[in-house]
Amino acid sequence: MASTYNTKQKQLILDMLLKCKENQLSCEEIEEKLKNNGTPVGKSTVYRYLISLQNEGKVRKFTSENGKSATFSYIEDKAECSKHLHLRCLSCGEFVHLSCSLMDEISTHLVNDHKFSIDNSKTVLYGLCEKCNSSKG
């Protein structure tokens, strides 16, 4: 499933994902950013490459909770990310990698007591981060 050819377009898309790895970008945003950079890439190419990156596990897809279009972000350490859970702030979108022992207990507990094996790569905990929480209360 991995791409066989290396092309300028793929590199441009990848560079943009890396540059914005703290955020999540929609296909449209990627397309727009590349156009603004003076290095436009066709919409379908963006969609197609993101799908293939997703299949390779190099990109995480967020199916918009509230809005419309899906967003993507690059997974820097694929092996590491499959071991821990992730948090996402509903307000500002901040994405947190949660490496922590209690979180490991969850998996064990769920398997032992509830016979449920959690998939860390598909699971995201939603809530409010400190910043957004305090600005709300």
Partner DNA sequence: TTGCGTGCAAAGGTTTTGCATGGCA
Partner DNA sequence: TGCCATGCAAAACCTTTGCACGCAA
Q: Summarize as ranges the residues that interact with a second copy (CB under 8 A).
A: 63-65, 87, 89-90, 96, 98, 100, 102-103, 105-106, 109-110, 113-119, 122-130, 133
- Residue 107: in which H helix or E strand, if any? helix 101-114
In order, the DSSP letters of 34-74 are HHHTT----HHHHHHHHHHHHHTTSEEEE--SSSSS-EEEE
Residue listed under structure tokens 């947190």: 96
Distance CA 99, CA 86 (A): 9
Smallest gap from residue 59 Cβ to a second copy (A): 15
Q: Which of residues 37-66 bind DNA (CB under 7 A)?
A: 40-45, 47-49, 51
50 contacts 72 by C-beta, under 8 angstroms: yes
Q: How far is CA 116 from CA 80, 88, 104, 109, in A?
A: 21, 22, 14, 9
Binding partner at 68 among a second copy, DNA, none, C-beta below 5 to 8 Å by kind: DNA
Smallest gap from residue 5 Cβ to DNA (A): 3
List, edge to edge, every strand of the sheet that includes 71-74: 25-26, 71-74, 59-62
Q: Does 4 bind DNA (CB under 7 A)?
A: yes
* Contact residue for DNA among 70, 81, 129, 132 (CB under 7 A): 70
Q: Which C-beta is closer to DNA: that of 30 or that of 75?
A: 30
* Contact residue for DNA among 10, 83, 84, 86 (CB under 7 A): 10
Site size with DNA, rule: CB under 7 A: 24
Contact residues for DNA, defined by CB under 7 A: 3-10, 26-28, 40-45, 47-49, 51, 68-70
